[in-house]
Structure 1
Amino acid sequence: MIVTVGELDRLPGIRHGFLTRNGGVSDGIYDSLNCGLGTTDERDRVMENRARAVKAAGLTDTPLSTAYQVHSAKVLVVDRPLDQSNRPEVDGLVTNTQGVNLGVLTADCGPVLFADAAAGVVGAAHAGWKGAVGGVLEETVRVMETLGARRENIVAAIGPCIGQASYEVGTEFPAPFIAQDPANARFFAANACRKFQFDLAGYCASRLEKLGLGTVIATGHDTCALEDDFFSYRRKTKRGEPDYGRQVSVIGLL
């Protein structure tokens, strides 16, 4: 039901988890731990699933705060639980307040959790390719620093996302990445169809490493390939399904 990384587990006063699709109450295409309020799943079921995610991660028993994610580089400081009926349009959340549980929703995009235990600051970012190119990871770190975090103390963990073997993109796709830095070509592997396979996790890790963070790690799970464990937008699209669930990744201070 939950994936954790040792580098975050060992930090005092911080709990986190990358939830899978298992262990919830939803059914059908949302089977079973769908945490996406933007889906057509029954809201009561989604809220129960979110409560289960918070409990599974060992977080404080307070509502989960998530945003209306828009693939931007906008990051918000959260000092109290967010109103989930009026979610802010941002893709990164940061807090230094105990009991505020941050979450990001994904179904192939990269969930990235951040923590500076010494400063008592945590963050969560939704890094699809647009957000990653646009700077959401850098902005999350910058906002954490405004609360006292030091980048050399920050642990950043990239959770389950679409893997390179599953992520075929068109011939025009690499252009904005290579325009930023020709070295980004290494994240694109040509395939037999004369298209490319994109390494989203590797690209995110590279951007984080350039910031000089203390630790950068990726769990290595491929959400598209591991159907029993994760929801996937790309898999849904290939099958022509009407909707898809979202798994949640959570972090908070005790």
Structure 2
Amino acid sequence: MTLEILTSDLLDPLRHGFFSRRGGASSGIFAGLNCGYGSSDQTEVVAINRKRVADAMEVEPEAMIGIHQIHSPTVLTVDAPINGDKPKADAVVTATPGLALTILTADCQPVLFADTNANVIGAAHAGWRGALDGVLEATLDAMENLGAKRENTMAVIGPSISQSAYEVGPDFLDEFIADSPENLQFFANGQGDRLQFDLPGFGLHRLRQAGVGQAEWTRHCTYSDPERFYSYRRSTHAKEADYGRLISAIKL
């Protein structure tokens, strides 16, 4: 099966993509294009999957820049491949041609950024914690340090868990309201004291408030489409032992 790569006109003409799970070598609960070495999948199979992504991005595997994601607002600026352990961060930016910036997700938002006028790109992992703590704004700050301008920067949120699938409790709401009362708009009533949180809507709000030129969500829900996407929450509900990781990438 060939790879399925979701793209956005906002990021053209740069080579980029939000890769679905289709077209990979993994099997069992990881069936498809699992690109996470942090999973319990076979290391050599994950390497095969990542090589397929590298080929699609037209780079060598070592030129695919990844980070050790920790749900933080930390951004890494790179100008060369990373040797050794991956730095702990949740976004990466570059102005160096030939590097492909990558993010792994399984419900959280993968966000790809580009200012094609300044030739600066970025990629961020924005779960609720990272988004609330400012990882998207920090990514834009780091891009500006490389010469980008916010008003010229396009930002695209890839496959993420949608509001209808994201049930949370009242303590979760309290944390968002403490940040800003206007965050109430991203919550809908659920059953009992449960609420439904709009993670992509919150991400788009933060991006637009930060002054990006344009921002959009691809409108793909990871939870509700098991044939195409991995989902941490769906795997948890199914009591599966582990889950695969989707990869998103952008290259100058």
TM-score (norm 1): 0.95
Cα distance in 2 between the residues matched to 1:62 and 1:231: 22
Give 5+ residue unaligned stretches, structure 1.
Answer: none
> Does the CA-based 8 Å contact 1:75-1:143 persist in structure 2?
yes
Alignment of 1:227-238 (within 5 A): 227-238=226-237
Give the secondary-structure state (helix, strand or coil) at the position aligned to 1:179. Answer: helix
Cα distance between partner residues in 2 of 1:59 and 1:145: 26
Residue 81 in structure 1 maps to residue 81 in structure 2: yes
Offset of residue 162 of structure 1: 0.4
1:68 matched to 2:68: yes
Instruction: Write out per-residue CA displacement over residues 113-158 of structure 1, whole angstroms, 9 at most, x where no aligned residue.
Output: 0000011100000000010011100000000000000000000000
- Correspondence for 2:21: 21
**What is the RMSD computed on CA atoms of the aligned residues?**
1.1
Is residue 40 from structure 1 mapped to residue 43 from structure 2 by the alignment?
A: no
Q: Which amino acid aligns with 2:149?
A: R
Structure 2 residue 212 is matched with structure 1 residue 213: yes
Deviation of 1:32 after TM superposition, in Å, equals 1.1
Once the 2 structures are TM-superposed, how far is the Cα of residue 193 of structure 1 from its aligned partner? 2.8
Q: Which residue of 1 aligns with 2:52?
A: 52
Aligned residue identity for 1:88: P
- Distance in 1 of aligned mates of 2:47 and 2:207: 32
Q: Percent identity?
A: 48
Indicate the residue corresponding to 1:250 in structure 2: 249
The aligned residue for residue 31 of structure 1 is: 31
Instruction: Report 1:166-181 matches (<5 A).
Output: 166-181=165-180
Q: 1:62 deviation in Å?
A: 4.5
- TM-score (normalizing by structure 2): 0.96
What is the aligned partner in structure 2 of residue 151 from structure 1?
A: 150
Letter matched to residue 5 of structure 2: I
Moved segments of 4+, more than 2 Å: 58-63
What letter matches 2:146 in structure 1?
L
1:121 — aligned with what? 120
Give 1:92's aligned residue. Answer: 91
Q: State the partner residue of 2:8.
A: 5
- The total of aligned residue pairs comes to 248
Structure 2 residues without counterparts, runs of 5 or longer? none
